[in-house]
Each structure stands twice: as C-alpha cells, then as structure tokens.
Structure 1
Amino acid sequence: MPLRHLTPRDQHLFWQYGRGADVPVHEPLVHRAIERHAIAHPHAVAAEHHGATLTYGELDRYAGALAARLVREGVRPGDHVGLFARRSIPMLVGLFAVLKAGAAYVPQDIGRTPPAELAHVIRTARTRVILTQKEHVPRVPLPGGHRLIALDDPAPYDPGPGPLLPPHPDDGCCVLFVPGTAGRRAHGVTLTHRNIANLLLTEPGGLGIRPGDRVAQLLGIASGPAAWEILGCLTHGATLAIRGKDTDATARTATVLIATPALLSGIDPADCPHLRTVAVTGEPCPRPLADRWSRRTAFFHCRGPAEATLVTTMGRHTPVAGRPVAGRALPNNTVYVLGADRRALPVGETGEVWAGGDSVSAGYLGDDALNAERYAPDPFLGAGHAMFRTGDLGRWTPDGDLEHLGRPADRLGPPDKRPLLRLAGERTAATVTVTR
C-alpha cells in the first residue's frame, strides 16, 4: 500500500484532490472529431486568415486529397511528417491531412526556426516527408531521400484512392519540441491521439467551445498551446481566427482565447467585447492580470508541460480568490505531490509535482536516458500506468487547489539529485512528459 504512511484523512485527500473525474471520451481519434463537423456542417467556416475563409467541407476535401498523396509517398500510422509553415490556411490543411493519413504532425515555424534547428528536428523526428509553403522551400534543410511538398501548390490536392488506414488512439498525433536542459538540444515529445482527445473533449479542457464560437489562433505553431488553440477549435466545430501581424485585431473578434500571460498582458479586455472564456498557460499568471480579465470573462489559470499534454491542472480564477492557483487535476488524470523518496506527502507539505493518467505522453524521441530520468511506473494507479516528474514544486491548499512554488534551477543537477527548495515566485517551465 503506497499510502499507508499517511493518516486516513490524508489518504482520502490524496485521491480527492489529486485525481480527476473518470469521464468517457467518446472519440479518441482527434481527426475523426473534426470530420464529424465537416459531415454535419460542411458550409460552416472552419478558419479565417487575412480575409480568406475555409469551410469545414473544403478543409475536409483538401486535406483528404493531400492525405492520399502522403499515403502514396509512403506515410503510414506511426510516422512523423514535418509541418514547417507559418500561421495560414494552407498550414491548417497540412495539419489535418497528416492526421488523416494516420501520422503525427511535427510543427515548426519556418519563419523563425534556424535551419540548424530544423535539421535537428528532421533527424530526431525522422521525418521523411515535410510540408511547407512555396516561399519557404529554400529554408528547409532537406536531407537526401526526403520528400518536400509545397502546401500552396495545387498539385497536392489531386484526388486519391480509397479509405485511409486509421491510426490507433495510442499512435502519435503531434510531436512537440521542448527546450533542452543543461546545454542539451530541444527534445521531441510525442503526444498521442488519446492524450490530446482527453484534454480537448472533456471539460474544462474543452473550454466550452461550440459551433459559432471564434477561437483566436495567436501563438506560434510549434508551441504546445497552439495545438490547444487549433485542435480545440476544430474538434468542436468553431471558427479559427488566424492572426496576421495585428494580435489585437484578432483578439477583438474572438469568443475564446488561449494565451500566455505575457501575450495577454498586451491586450486590453475592454477591446474584446465578445470574449467569453480565457485560458492562460505556459507560466505563472500575475494576480493583477488575472483579476482584470476575470472581471469580464471565465478565466482559467492552467499549469502543465507539453510532456503531460499541455495542461495537468486548471483552476477558474475570480477577483476575490486571491493569488491564482493551479486548480485540480483534469478528468482521467492524476497529480501527485511527492517527497524525495517518491512517497505521497500530506496536504500542505511542499514536494515535487508528478503527473499521471491519460495525460502522460509517449515520451522523448530517441532519449532513453532522459525517459528513465523523468518517467516512472505509477505506484498509485498501477496496472502499467506511468507518471511524469515535472520538476515543479508545489503543495495542496486546504481547499484542494494545487499551489505552484517554482522549481530548482537546472544547474542543481538531475531531478533525483535536486533538493526540494522553496522557490516561491520562480518561473516554472510549461513542458511535462509522462510515458506509458
């Protein structure tokens, strides 16, 4: 019994606070959820950018033809396809096409990522096919034997044959590259369809998005929150408002906004009369910013890294709540506060935050040593489950909200050797990985 050292009360609170509700996810394949809206409402607008629009029917048709081409190029479930593009409608078609082909998309902002880093992504993710826009073709460091397809060339949209081979829910949906530690290069993290569907198709991770909503796509496509923006919008049949250079203009038309606190601080809530829901992630949110926005919208303070499918906890903030807290575990997920010996700590004691359940990603690509360092069998859920060591320090409040207290600096060594320092207010990383 891994909890027998706790009092009966703390054993009860360990599960009450740290385990999300058991909620069925009716569609574990992300692209199938999007296809349902294309079938039911083909004329609804899926995306807008620079005055151009794309309906769900068009998105499904163009992506289906491109997916067939990817299959002809040898792409199969379990493969990775590079999506080296800028925010645009062709980028959206390419993303959906990769999912339809059964592969995982590997997003990189081709306008911002240096060629050497793109080459590292290609090697690490083993992408044999890369999608980009024609103007950016010269920037792609294409190795021999690889195939480059221009998204805005009419050729990829030629009709293709027959039904495509579907992926398994535990196959990859996207591969995100997160910053390395201790001088190491960026690490590729595979998020599965099951991981992402669990976030998007349950609440509060679904953010109440519904047909008729407008979700602002403000963030760089290589970031984890961008996957939440894009896929969260499309799986619920809403319209993705893809920004150009003017962030404020896009935010003004949105009903749902996902942002980092830094980005949100540059937007005036008075200029966004249609906003109903705002979620901030990626770093701690200052209370004045949270108070200002929560007076006008449903405001969610979210914490979690890419390795734990972007968000492990969400808490709704109100101006009378005090300091924004991280809330509780999302459905089908667990969050533990453990001591240095990986034993559960009583409520109120500071320890390291571990994530488990359906948020646990498929791990780092090609780095067994790092996987062994950050992932471990989950002794609390058992039955083959894994948990991920976020490196964040935290504690449960008496009300059952997770309070983040920063993290030790990477220079202190690997997680197993780090002291549990109380670093209140220190910025925490927004990337968590848990493998199965």
Structure 2
Amino acid sequence: MKRASGRDQPSALDERDARLFRRFGWGPARAVPRVAIHEMIERHAAARPSLTAAEHGGERITYGELERQANRLAALLIHRGVSPGDRVALVVRRGIPMIIGILAILKAGAAYVPQDAKMVRNPALRHILATADCTIVLTQSDAPVELPPGVLGIDIDRARAEAPDAPAPRIAHDPSRACYILFTSGTTGTPNGVAVTHANLANLLLTEPGDLGIRPGTTVGQILNIAFDMAAWEILGCLSHGGTLLIRGDDIAATARRVNVLIATPTILSRIEPEACEHLRTVAVAGEPCPGALADRWAARSAFYNGCGPTETTIVNTMQRHRPGLRLTIGRPTPNNTVYILDEHRNPCPIGEVGEMWAGGDGVSAGYLANPGLNAERYAPDPFLGGGRTMFRTRDLGRWTRDGELEHFGRTDDQVKVRGFRVELDAVSAVLEGVPGCVRAATVKLDDRTLASFVQPAQVDPALARKTVAEALPYYCVPESIHILEALPLTDRGKIDKTRLLRLARLGREATA
C-alpha cells in the first residue's frame, strides 16, 4: 500500500494531531501474494490431497476429491459458455456441494454470486440475476428455484455424479478480477451488488490477524448464511490455509463445540456457551456492535477479535485482539488499509473527536454493480493516499483513543431525533448491556418522542434496566418501555432483526393503549 499522501498535511489539524492522524489511520504495510484465492486452495490439494477439506452431516470430502469434482464442474461451466470475468449465481443449500460450486466458478475465471436457496425469495432473486447479469445458476435437486427465462440452471448434484473427469482449467487468473458479488440490503430495501476482488480478499485472508491463525488441520466452523460476506471469511479463509471446514446443520452450538476457529455475529455468539467449547481457540465477531461483557466472557477462554467493516471494504478493515477487563474497541486498521475520521466536509477530525469513518487502502472493493449514482455517493478519490486510490464512506461513527484505537459509536443512519434531540440508538443499547444479567440489547424509535428497548435473556429486571439508562443518559434517551425476551430475533444474516422488534414494540403499545 502506498504510504505517500496526496496532501502535505491534513487541514484544520495542529501538528500533533496531523502526525497522529497518519500514525493511527494507516495499517501496517504487508506483502500479500498476488494470487487468485482458489490458487491457494489448489496448492493445498496438491500438497495434502488426503486431508479433509470439509465435513457436513457425516459426509466428508478431501482436498484431492474437492479439486477433482470442482475441475469437472468448472469444465462444464466453460463448455456452457462461462468466460473469465463472468458472474455465475450459486443458489444452494448449506453443504459440501456449496463448496464445490464456489471453487468451480472461481476456477472458470468467474465471480460467484451466492444466495441461500432456503432464504431467497423469487423477486429478490430475479433482481440479483439481472443486476449481476447472470445467465447461469448452479442449483441443487433438493432445493429447486424458479429461474427467469433465458437463465440456465445447472444441478451441482447431477454434475457431481455424471460429469466426466477433467483437468484444471488453463486460465490466466487476475487478482484484480472479481471473486464474488455480495448483495447488501441497501437503505432503500433494494439489494445492491458489491464486487469484491481476489486481491481485496487476499489482503484480509492472507495476512495477520485476518488469517485467524488457520493452518492445515485447523477446524473452522461454517455457520453463517452464504449470502453474508462473513461466510466468505469462514469458507475461503479456511480452505486457502488448508483447514477443515465443519459445515453446520440446524444446531449452531453443536458445531461451535467441535471447532478451533469460529466467526460469528455478536448476536449469534450470545446464544452459545463458551464453557462448552473446549476446542475453540480463536473467535472473531463483526457485523454489529459487540457488548463488552460478551467479549470479556469469550476472551477469557480464547483469542477474541472484535472487527468492523462493511461489505464494501471486504468483510472487516479494523480488528482488535481483546483481553478481559480492558476497554473494547474495534482496534486498528488491518494491513494495507487506512481509516480516516472525517467531519461532514471530509476534513480530518482532531484526535478524540467523533466523526464519520472513511476507509481506504487495499480492502476497498470495486464498487456497486449498475449503480453509478450510489457509487458517486459512497466512493470518492482518496486525497490522503493519492495516486488515484479510492476511499469508501462507511457511515460508521467513531473516534481515535489516545493510544490509537478506534471506538465505534454506531452508524449515521442509526442516529434519530427524539423530542428534538439527536439520539444514537446503539448508545442506549450499550448502556442496557451493562445491566446485570443482560447479554444483548436493542433499541428502536417508535415515534418522535418515544423509544422502546428489548433485552435478552428473560431474567433481566426491566425496572433496573430502565433505571440504569435514566442514570447514565439524558431523559430523552430513556426508553418508554423495556421488553424482555429469552432471545432477540435474528435476520437471515445473524444480526438483530430491528424491523421485527419495531413491529413487536408497536403491537405491545397497542395492547396497553
């Protein structure tokens, strides 16, 4: 990553803060192999063909067999017209065919566009296929999907059984080519496709700490929805280092008890007992704010990493190795990445002042598909790295601590007005998560005067919870009602389902009216 700056000195900062702006904001420079991710997997298949690559429901596949079956399917894709740079949708159930499909698409030089066949709805799938210009979809016989006219479905299960053996495709692989296309929910509810390159992904997976210490023989859990970008961390992070991927069934906790490395959202992790996970040595969370008590509990038993970063910056672009009893932050920029805390005019904020996080460096993705307006809104030339580099507006709020770590203060779109005052909903939830017995909390806005909060588990005292907020925050931040639940509801990506909580809060209000 180029360290020279497009500006001699960040504006509006004194000499000390200008120096710290660069010291804190630039991640360490590290050399990263210029390879396509699947080439790393191929190397492990050649070196250790008998090592188990993945396991699901009693079925196992070795690296050698994974390579053989992926080559067969890749040859079929190429025969059907797939060319380097194309996009192939993967609409499957969780299992070993999912892994074969990913590897085959990459071997053909294409980017995979993943969707869970159990979760995706037909209107969303049609939008995704059209936006990504997918004319071929890998499917499964036990999870049929409705495809629009002109789109060819190829059954992975049938291809596994019937396709003839084939050598590895002889394609020149370009690390700047897209590896996968992830569709985010978007602020309007319409999914936006984000193109993430092999080079973007290699920068996280093939450097510390993003490699999570995975080595041949390390068992890694695969618990997340394939359409969630953190699933790529699980799958490709494991296989690119020769690990063994344990793909879960219906019981996430049962998988967690068997693995050495687990990647999860904090909400999913809050439903697992760390004391039962005796083999677990490394845990990484991201996707939503993590409660300090949850981090302390897991960090007492394993190497615990708290990360942050949207899909557009390749899964996470900051990480912290947390230790019990210390302040929980989202850490520092990962290798070859940068983070800038900027004001509304895109000027650097003084150290310690809250601003919006912009991300630069090698993790910044190639942008949104077929959406130039959104690209112009969220991506901008990076004036600090210069050299034609791009930075991304994360919409996360943060500030630098005195020792150069990032404190996260929620998202700009999580800020609401209540009684004319600005309130950060995650700040209210963070106070609630400090109440004795509370594992997870969430807060929603009911109207211009009222908040409602939810806490997990059901044993939390709601009166104590409300009193705690009243003592810690201004009166306009105090929830009108606090609802206790055994477990907060989840989205299909393992995050707190705030839309469902808002419906529950409104129903509760109507019932007491």
User: Once the two structures are aligned, what percentage of the paired residues are identical?
Assistant: 54
Q: Which residue of structure 2 aligns with residue 402 of structure 1? A: 406
Write the distance in 2 (CA, Å) between the matches of 1:53 and 1:422.
47
Q: Which residue of structure 1 aligns with residue 48 of structure 2? A: 41
Q: Which residue of structure 1 aligns with residue 279 of structure 2? A: 274
What SS class does the counterpart of residue 311 from structure 1 fall into?
coil
Q: Which residue of structure 2 aligns with residue 11 of structure 1? A: 18
Q: Which residue of structure 2 aligns with residue 383 of structure 1? A: 387
In 2 relative to 1, CA 248–272 (structure 1 residues): closer, same or farther, beyond 3 Å? same
2:315 aligned with 1:310: yes
Q: Deviation string for 1:189-236 (max 9, x for gaps)?
A: 110000001110000000011111100000111101111000000000
Q: Which residue of structure 2 aligns with residue 180 of structure 1? A: 186
1:14-413 map, 5 Å:
14-137=21-144, 139=145, 141-153=146-158, 154=160, 157-160=163-166, 163-181=169-187, 183-322=188-327, 324-409=328-413
TM-score, normalising length: structure 2: 0.79
Residue 77 of structure 1 aligns with an amino acid whose one-letter code is: P
Write the distance in 2 (CA, Å) between the matches of 1:162 and 1:218.
29
Unaligned runs of 5+ in 2: 1-6, 430-441, 444-490, 494-513
Write the distance in 2 (CA, Å) between the matches of 1:136 and 1:143.
16
Residue 236 of structure 1 aligns with an amino acid whose one-letter code is: H
TM-score, normalising length: structure 1: 0.93
What SS class does the counterpart of residue 368 from structure 2 fall into?
coil
In 2 relative to 1, CA 85–333 (structure 1 residues): closer, same or farther, beyond 3 Å? same
Query: Shift of residue 27 of structure 1?
Result: 4.0
Unaligned runs of 5+ in 1: 413-418, 431-436
Residue 286 of structure 2 aligns with an amino acid whose one-letter code is: T
Residue 212 of structure 1 aligns with an amino acid whose one-letter code is: G
Residue 126 of structure 1 aligns with an amino acid whose one-letter code is: D
Residue 384 of structure 1 aligns with an amino acid whose one-letter code is: G
Q: Deviation string for 1:75-103 (max 9, x for gaps)?
A: 11111100001110011000000011111
Residue pair 1:336, 1:355 contacting (<8 A) in 2 also: yes
Residue pair 2:289, 2:410 contacting (<8 A) in 1 also: no
Write the distance in 1 (CA, Å) between the matches of 2:11 and 2:77.
53
Write the distance in 2 (CA, Å) between the matches of 1:163 and 1:423.
51
What SS class does the counterpart of residue 267 from structure 1 fall into?
coil
Residue pair 1:347, 1:395 contacting (<8 A) in 2 also: yes
Q: Deviation string for 1:1-24 (max 9, x for gaps)?
A: 351432222122111111111101
Residue 23 of structure 2 aligns with an amino acid whose one-letter code is: Q
Write the distance in 1 (CA, Å) between the matches of 2:383 and 2:106.
34
Q: Deviation string for 1:331-374 (max 9, x for gaps)?
A: 01001100111111121011100011011101111000000000
Residue pair 1:65, 1:157 contacting (<8 A) in 2 also: yes
Residue pair 2:400, 2:407 contacting (<8 A) in 1 also: yes
What SS class does the counterpart of residue 157 from structure 2 fall into?
coil
In 2 relative to 1, CA 275–161 (structure 1 residues): closer, same or farther, beyond 3 Å? closer
Residue pair 1:248, 1:267 contacting (<8 A) in 2 also: yes
Write the distance in 2 (CA, Å) between the matches of 1:74 and 1:422.
50
What SS class does the counterpart of residue 383 from structure 2 fall into?
coil
Q: Deviation string for 1:408-434 (max 9, x for gaps)?
A: 33798xxxxxx997665278999xxxx
Residue 170 of structure 2 aligns with an amino acid whose one-letter code is: L
Write the distance in 1 (CA, Å) between the matches of 2:163 and 2:217.
28
Query: Shift of residue 144 of structure 1?
Result: 2.4
Residue 150 of structure 1 aligns with an amino acid whose one-letter code is: D
What SS class does the counterpart of residue 284 from structure 2 fall into?
strand
Residue pair 1:69, 1:160 contacting (<8 A) in 2 also: no
Q: Which has the larger radius of gyration?
A: 2
Residue pair 2:33, 2:202 contacting (<8 A) in 1 also: no
Write the distance in 2 (CA, Å) between the matches of 1:146 and 1:409.
37
Q: Which residue of structure 2 aligns with residue 433 of structure 1? A: none
Larger relative CO (CA 8 A, sep 6+): 1 or 2? 1
Query: Shift of residue 281 of structure 1?
Result: 0.7
In 2 relative to 1, CA 78–340 (structure 1 residues): closer, same or farther, beyond 3 Å? same
What SS class does the counterpart of residue 136 from structure 1 fall into?
coil
Aligned residues: 421
In 2 relative to 1, CA 379–423 (structure 1 residues): closer, same or farther, beyond 3 Å? farther
Q: Deviation string for 1:265-293 (max 9, x for gaps)?
A: 11111111011100001101111111110
Write the distance in 2 (CA, Å) between the matches of 1:423 and 1:387.
27
| Aligned-pair Cα RMSD in Å | 2.1
